Amino acid sequence: MQLYGVRGWGSGIAEAMLTLADMQYQLIDVTGFDQPGASRDALTAANPLAQIPTLVLATGQVITESAAIALMVIDQAPQLAPPQDTPERLRFYRLLIWLVANVYPTFTYGDYPERWAPSAPSELRASSDAHRQHLYQWLEGEVVGPFVMGENVSVLDAYLAAMVSWRPGQDWFKANCPKIAAAAERTRNLDLLAPIMKANGWL
């Protein structure tokens, strides 16, 4: 498999999930893909929408969207999600889709506010950042500990291991969402994941 990504970005979450599942991949670094040039050309050859992560399977099939990659991963490594036909499996689905449908868009708008609100970019960034903090405070109540779903690491932990390093940052999480902070720290320090976390600047 080939994983098109950029260190420190959301593609690092896909790296972590694939690593937890012991699924071998080659990382294709497309730093600078958001500007014309060789990186963008390489990415759009695989995915004309120029999204990261973009995962190209050995069959040539292209998988995008981190939640789709997560679901593919648990098909191959079912230990990275609660068992099928249990209430916890349904809660896992809810949290996975909630995370990418609610929290991720705050970065879409907040990271590049001038694209969406050219007359008031600072206001959009401030409001999206504030909304994200509110969302994380709700998620704090859903974390069982020591990992998100309990005793076993899941693909959800790969998300939070990365996301606590993004705005509002690790100090905010430690002060306001200690269960998220603790689960993320435990995940980042797993022997399997520590090299990935360091490479992405999250450890």
Helix, strand, or coil here: 203? Answer: coil
For the segment 170-192, the average pLDDT, to the nearest whole number, is 98
Strand partners, 62: 56
Tokens 């994941």 label which residue?
A: 193
Give the pLDDT score at 160. 98
Give the pLDDT score at 31. 98
Closest CA to 25 of 71, 57, 52: 57
Peptide linkage before 78 cis (omega within 30 of 0): no
pLDDT tens track for 120-147: 999 999 999 999 999 999 999 999 999 9
Question: Residue 94's pLDDT band (boundaries 50, 70, 90)?
Answer: very high
Cα 10 from Cα 3, distance rounded (Å): 12
Q: Going from the N-terminus, what domains does the chain have, and what CATH number goes with each?
A: 2-78 (3.40.30.10), 81-199 (1.20.1050.10)
Q: Which two tokens mark 179?
A: 């269960």
Give the pLDDT score at 32. 97
pLDDT tens track for 11-64: 999 999 999 999 999 999 999 999 999 999 999 999 999 999 999 999 999 999
